Amino acid sequence: FLVGPLTEKFALGPLGITSLAIMSACYLLLPVVHSMLWAVCLLIVLAGIVLPSFNSSIIAYINASTPEHMIGRVHSVQGIPNMALTPLAVLLAGFLIVDWGITYTALFYAVFIFLSLVVMVFQKPLRQLPHISQVTNAQ
């Protein structure tokens, strides 16, 4: 319900970076509040609300800037690592929770999300992704 209005109002680069910053802040706070169920739920919901904005900003740019005959290949190259790494991340989280506990496991994942944010902030081409209406179709 927020993705459409957000992608129409904001440029894709700042929208993606802001979404990732909110997600990063939520996940960095999880180890601090992990014993308060209401706070954990609030942080997970907040991170989940902005996640579609982040995903849509990236996918919208890919779709608009990729030649039509290459879109399937580009989505495969992007999607296959996601499909492979998601179950591995869940498996690793299970092992880490048993070995490290919830606090350090949550912090471990939060650091990776924060590092992704740092990479995005320092990549000028990512920061400057235009508004979706300004992206020309690469046919």
DSSP 16-48: HHHHHHHHHHHHHHHHHHTT-HHHHHHHHHHHH
Overall number of domains in the chain: 1
Tell whether 113 is covered by a domain.
yes
The whole-number pLDDT of residue 50 equals 85
Tell whether 138 is covered by a domain.
no
Tell whether 97 is covered by a domain.
yes
Q: Compute the residue count for the chain.
A: 139
- Rounded to whole angstroms, the Cα distance separating 117 from 19 reads 9
Q: Which domain holds residue 44?
A: 3-131
The whole-number pLDDT of residue 139 equals 53
The whole-number pLDDT of residue 53 equals 80
**Which structure tokens are listed for 81?**
């690592």
Tell whether 59 is covered by a domain.
yes
Low-confidence ranges of the chain (pLDDT < 70): 1, 136-139
* Packing angle, helices 12-33 and 37-65, rounded to 10: 160
Tell whether 57 is covered by a domain.
yes
Tell whether 137 is covered by a domain.
no
Tell whether 110 is covered by a domain.
yes
Assessment of whether the complete model's pTM goes beyond 0.85: no
- Rounded to whole angstroms, the Cα distance separating 86 from 113 reads 14
The residue with tokens 């680069």 is 13
The whole-number pLDDT of residue 138 equals 53
